[in-house]
Amino acid sequence: MLTNERHDYILRMLEEKKTVKLQDLVEVTDASESTLRRDLTELESMGKLERVFGGAVLPGRNLQEPSMDDKSTRNLKEKKSIAEYAASFVQEGDSVFLDAGTTTLQMITFIKDKNPVVVTNGLPLAVALNEAGITTYLTGGMLKPRTGAFVGAGALAALGAYHFDICFLGVNGIHADYGYTTPDPEEAAVKKKAASHARKTYILADHSKVNKVSFATIINLQDAALIVDGVPAETLQEYNKITTVKVVEK
């Protein structure tokens, strides 16, 4: 069976069944496991499918879910590691700002025994903080449906009333030349203001954000430290010029 034939077959099978197992493909196509793995990898890089453990599924088929959930599944483990490491900087009784985002969300588990007072602009975070029994303040403001973040004049005004011992922000991209970037200007404004009211600011990012700069707003942050996972040493050199970098070990 030709390579293209296999590819077509896989895609047609996916269309039909929405999901396909590698072992089934082996039986039907008479190709080896290795070959079919390569097929799947290739088709994935073309965006035609999404690999999962044991096979593949149609891409983006949980787009029906709020976009937050999609993102939260991606790199979840890395995010948890980063969150745990970041949480180690929080001290007993600190006043903490947690940015809206999936990585900061993961931090809640790791800080709840430190009796922090937490301010956030994230709706899901407020829910989780409440459940965790943490003293919680929310900035308020206009709710962005896609991200569950509160932004706008209301959020900015509320931030003016607080001061934080420590502040944790998520970003969408990090680049040695452009610095930190995030797609939404309103969310960028909130991040900036939060950082300006904090004694110390940490930026959280998994490796997928490194050297990425999408259509985005640049956030100018002085004195912020960057926490990332699994980035090669030579890449780090570049960033050390512009910020303190802390790498999460596995």
Phi/psi at 35 (nearest 5 deg)? -60, -45
Q: How far is the CB of 141 from its own copies (least distance, A)?
A: 7
> 218 CB contacts (<8 Å, ≥6 apart)?
178, 179, 180, 181, 188
Tell me how many residues contact its own copies (CB under 8 A): 49
Residues 3-22 that bind DNA (CB under 7 A): 3, 6, 21-22
- Report if residue 216 touches its own copies, rule: CB under 8 A: no
For residue 129, the partner it binds in DNA, its own copies, none, with Cβ less than 5 to 8 A by kind, is: its own copies
Closest CA to 235 of 209, 215, 203, 200: 209
Closest CA to 159 of 192, 112, 124, 126: 192
Q: How far is the CB of 176 from DNA (least distance, A)?
A: 25
Site string for DNA, 53-82 (x = CB under 7 A): xxx---------------------------
- Report if residue 27 touches its own copies, rule: CB under 8 A: no
Cα separation, 124 vs 188, in Å, equals 19
Of the candidate spans 137-145, 167-175, 202-210, 222-230, the one that interacts with its own copies by CB under 8 A turns out to be: 137-145
- Report if residue 38 touches its own copies, rule: CB under 8 A: no
Based on CB atoms, which residue is closest to DNA, 39 or 206?
Answer: 39
Q: Which two tokens stand for residue 13?
A: 């099978």
